[in-house]
């Protein structure tokens, strides 16, 4: 629940930045944008909301944008509260590897959960109230259209059909639009988005002024403004707590009317434009026929300041040049691009996506038989072919807590800093009693890695200090490089996160010693990861299990198989409400490697 609140706050901030970006573009560009661009640019806002939920289907594009602006708008993941005294769980894994996991307890402090629950309740209450107004508006529009009558004079219909032809309405839309007279309105309005009705007050007469008004209202129909207005109001209902969005909706309504004016003026002869302005002034100055929550209708009326701006634009009207139209298209395209970058993915409530290296040769494979009922992903890198084999690519790019797999690099950091060496890595046990006999004794790098001894690697981290650790993770580009969860807990279902694909890429860098570290330190880590050897092939790896409130929710097994000149690097991650352990990840990995004839 707290993750949901955190995501909502992130999205609200991103939405506010997007609104400010739209306002800035509109302010700077001014008349260099068409009236249509000034109007339609606002619909990038609800589109951004759709982008958050469509993001799993836009993975590759999102990754490309994140590569261009690496972490420009990302926020660090929030830390978790952990308990060292929590119950520890263990399970024997194949080939003598032990999978130890610390229960980190609730991902958030109960007080934080309470605050999150209250905040979400307030949001839900406000959203329901706003949505109820939208529903009331739809019902009101329906009743108003039912109470209206067709015009009794044929001259109304003649003028209506003439204007419809001038607007070039064709097909089913033209047939669905109807002209009605209603005593419930004081100025012309258009309502309904499936079967639009243009309602005129009883005082309307079939004259030249009415022609201008019909052209304006038919333009609303042509642009589907009633449906767009409803879309924006629904979006506002969900994001009602964002004050900038309320302002944006008001500006959108003003730009909508200016856009319609511009469209109509482009149809009229120059000498008719002042007459059109007078007609707008006469009718729009009438009290609005559309109540505030009347979301399914658009009317001529508006605020005095908005009406003043419309009349100014009508008086200064000039047709848009081709260069202005092309510039407008370019700006709208750019703003869509910005929306993709600014808005956080819904797929990332508590995780962040991988920033992949370019030119990865990736091949999708179907491993559902091996995974069975377990949810997860698998990545295998074939060094000989320089090819990645991936199962569930979206999940393979998703960052989650590394848990004990981080110890590979925690150990390497201390080796490089000289806090321990390949020949002198022994650290004494302080006498604290742990549920695992293997932990209750002095440890060196090999035994600590084999038995996944938390206190050993926590001791190494504390000796290094947060800043040196941060510098090291920045250097090797480890996942999101976020250590804000605390020096003893950042890797246990906390702030540090990494994806399976990144795990493989890092192990590849480790085998190649991409960072130029001392070779004996690289070999010391590789030795500590050895699990078994057969037929000249060596299996190395590290498990990791994330436990929350006694449930195994995040299981890892990462490593490599070396045989002569052949090198295969793999990472398997399991996610679930329970049963997602490092041991299970190792079992599935061994089955996959056997099927592939690798191990």
Give, as one character, the DSSP assignment of residue 79.
P
Place of tokens 């934080």: 112
* 3-state class (DSSP) for residue 395: helix
pLDDT band of 169, cuts 50, 70, 90: confident
* 589-593 contact pairs (CB < 8 A, 24+): 589/378, 589/541, 589/557, 590/94, 591/370, 592/367, 592/370, 592/378, 592/380, 593/561, 593/568
Q: What are phi and psi of 518, to 5 degrees?
A: -65, 135
* 3-state class (DSSP) for residue 209: helix
pLDDT at residue 92 greater than cutoff 90: no
- Helices then strands (H, E): number in the chain? 22, 13
Residue 225 lies in a domain: no
- 414-453 in b/e form (b: 16+ CB < 10 A) is bbbbebbebeebebeeeeeebeeebbeeebbbbbbbbbbb
Are residues 234 and 49 in contact, defined by beta-carbon separation less than 8 angstroms? no
249-280 per-position pLDDT tens digit: 999 999 999 999 999 999 999 999 999 999 88
Give every CB contact of residue 261 below 8 A, 6+ residues apart in sequence.
35, 216, 276, 280, 310, 313, 314, 317
pLDDT band of 52, cuts 50, 70, 90: low
Give every CB contact of residue 552 below 8 A, 6+ residues apart in sequence.
89, 101, 545, 546, 576, 578, 579, 580, 581
Residue 3 lies in a domain: no
Q: What pTM does this model have?
A: 0.57
Q: How many CB atoms lie within 10 A of CB 71?
A: 12
What pLDDT is attached to residue 540? 96
pLDDT at residue 71 greater than cutoff 70: no
H/E stretch holding 506:
helix 500-512
pLDDT at residue 487 greater than cutoff 70: yes
Residue 2 lies in a domain: no
Radius of gyration of the chain (CA): 32
387-409 per-position pLDDT tens digit: 999 999 989 999 999 999 999 99
Residue 115 lies in a domain: no
Residue 469 lies in a domain: yes
What pLDDT is attached to residue 153? 87
Beta bridge partner(s), residue 568: 382, 561
pLDDT at residue 59 greater than cutoff 60: no
* 3-state class (DSSP) for residue 142: helix
Domain that holds residue 533: 351-595
C-alpha to C-alpha distance for 466 and 459, rounded to whole angstroms: 12
pLDDT band of 9, cuts 50, 70, 90: confident
CATH number for position 515? 3.40.710.10
**What integer is the mean pLDDT of 162-173?**
86
- Number of domains comprising the chain: 1
C-alpha to C-alpha distance for 494 and 83, rounded to whole angstroms: 12
CA-nearest of 427, 513, 42, 503 to 252 is 42
Give every CB contact of residue 263 below 8 A, 6+ residues apart in sequence.
35, 36, 219, 222, 223
Give, as one character, the DSSP assignment of residue 475.
H
Retrieve residue 104's tokens: 């980190």
Torsion, CA 503, CA 507, CA 508, CA 511, rounded to 10: 180
Of all residues in the chain, what percent are helix, strand and coil, respectively (each to 5)? 55, 15, 30
Residue 38 lies in a domain: no
What pLDDT is attached to residue 88? 36
pLDDT at residue 568 greater than cutoff 90: yes
Q: Are strands 551-563 and 537-548 parallel, antiparallel or unpaired?
A: antiparallel
């Amino acid at each position: 629940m707290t993750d949901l609140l955190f995501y909502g706050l992130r999205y609200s901030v991103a939405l506010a930045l997007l609104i400010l970006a739209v306002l800035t573009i509109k302010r700077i560009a001014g008349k260099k944008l068409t009236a249509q661009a000034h109007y339609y640019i606002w619909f990038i806002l609800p589109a951004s909301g759709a982008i958050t939920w469509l993001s799993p289907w836009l993975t590759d594009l999102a990754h490309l944008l994140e590569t261009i602006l690496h972490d420009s708008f990302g926020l660090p993941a929030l830390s978790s509260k952990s308990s060292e005294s929590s119950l520890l769980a263990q399970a024997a894994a194949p080939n003598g590897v032990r999978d130890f996991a610390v229960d980190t307890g609730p991902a958030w402090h109960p007080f934080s959960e309470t605050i999150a629950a209250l905040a979400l309740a307030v949001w839900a209450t406000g959203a329901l109230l706003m949505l109820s107004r939208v529903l009331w508006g739809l019902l009101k529009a329906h009743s108003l259209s039912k109470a209206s009558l067709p015009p009794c004079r044929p001259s109304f219909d003649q003028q209506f059909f003439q204007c419809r032809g001038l607007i070039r309405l064709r097909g089913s839309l033209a047939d669905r639009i109807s002209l009605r007279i209603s005593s419930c309105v004081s100025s012309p309005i258009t309502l309904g988005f499936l079967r639009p009705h243009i309602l005129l007050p009883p005082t309307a007469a079939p004259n030249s002024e009415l022609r201008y008004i019909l052209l304006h209202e038919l333009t609303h129909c042509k642009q589907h403004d009633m449906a767009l207005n409803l879309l924006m109001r629904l979006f506002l209902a969900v994001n009602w707590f964002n004050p900038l969005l309320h302002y944006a909706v008001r500006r959108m309504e003003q730009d909508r009317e200016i856009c319609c004016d511009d469209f109509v003026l482009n149809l009229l002869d120059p000498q008719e434009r002042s007459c059109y302005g007078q007609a707008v002034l006469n009718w729009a100055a009438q009290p609005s026929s559309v109540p505030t929550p009347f979301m399914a209708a658009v009317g001529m009326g508006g605020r005095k300041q908005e009406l003043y701006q419309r009349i100014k634009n009508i008086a200064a009207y000039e047709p848009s040049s081709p260069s202005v139209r092309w510039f407008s298209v370019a700006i709208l395209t750019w703003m869509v691009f910005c929306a993709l970058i600014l808005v956080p993915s819904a797929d990332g409530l508590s995780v962040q996506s991988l920033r992949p290296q370019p030119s990865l040769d990736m091949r999708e494979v179907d491993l559902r038989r091996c995974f069975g009922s377990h949810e997860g992903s698998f990545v295998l890198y074939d060094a000989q072919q320089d090819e990645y084999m991936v199962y569930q690519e979206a999940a393979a790019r998703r960052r989650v807590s590394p848990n004990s797999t981080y110890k590979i690099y925690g150990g390497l950091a201390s080796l490089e800093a000289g806090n321990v060496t390949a020949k002198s890595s022994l650290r004494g046990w302080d006498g604290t009693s742990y549920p695992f006999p293997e932990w209750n004794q002095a440890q060196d790098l090999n035994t600590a890695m084999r038995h996944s001894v938390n206190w050993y690697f926590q001791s190494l981290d504390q000796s290094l200090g947060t800043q040196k650790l941060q510098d090291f993770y920045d250097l090797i580009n480890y996942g999101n490089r976020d250590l804000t969860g605390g020096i003893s807990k950042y890797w246990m279902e906390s702030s540090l996160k990494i994806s399976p694909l990144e795990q493989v890429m890092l192990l590849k860098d480790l085998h190649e010693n991409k960072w130029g570290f001392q070779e004996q330190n690289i070999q010391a880590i590789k030795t500590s990861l050895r699990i078994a050897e057969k037929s000249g092939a060596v299996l190395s790896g590290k498990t990791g299990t994330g436990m929350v409130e006694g449930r195994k929710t995040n299981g890892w097994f990462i490593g490599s198989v070396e045989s002569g000149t052949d090198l295969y690097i793999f990472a398997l991650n399991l996610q679930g409400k329970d049963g997602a352990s490092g041991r299970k990840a190792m079992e599935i990995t061994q089955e996959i490697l056997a099927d592939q004839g690798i191990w």
